[in-house]
Copies of this chain bind each other. A is one copy, B any other.
Amino acid sequence: MAKYRRQHGLFVVEGTTSVLDFLNSEIRLDGLYATGNWIEQHRDHIPHEYTEVEEKELKKISFLKTPPEVVAIFKIPEPGNFDLKNLTGLLLMLDGIQDPGNMGTIIRTADWFGIDTIVCSPGSANPFNPKVVQASMGSLSRVKVYTADLTEMLKNRPDYLKTFGAVMDGQPLVEVAKPQTGIIIIGNEAHGISKELSSQIDFRITIPRFSGHKGPSAESLNASIATAIICYEFRK
Chain A residues close to B by CB (< 8 Å): 17, 21, 24, 101, 105, 108-109, 111-116, 135, 137-139, 142, 174, 207, 209-213, 215-222, 224-225, 228-229, 232, 235-236
Contacts and interface: CB of A to CB of B under 8 A. Distances in A.
Main secondary structure of the interface of A (DSSP, over half): loop
A235 to B, nearest CB: 5
A116 to B, nearest CB: 8
A97 to B, nearest CB: 15
- 5 nearest interchain CB pairs? A114-B210, A114-B213, A111-B218, A112-B218, A225-B228
A221 B174 contact: no
Nearest to A89: B212
Given A137-B219, A222-B224, 6 more contacts: A21-B216, A109-B225, A113-B210, A115-B210, A137-B218, A139-B218
Given A232-B232, A236-B174, A219 B105 contact: no
A116 B105 CA distance: 25
9 contacts: A24-B216, A108-B222, A109-B225, A112-B210, A114-B211, A116-B213, A137-B218, A137-B220, A225-B228
Given A113-B210, A216-B24, A217-B111, A105 B142 contact: no
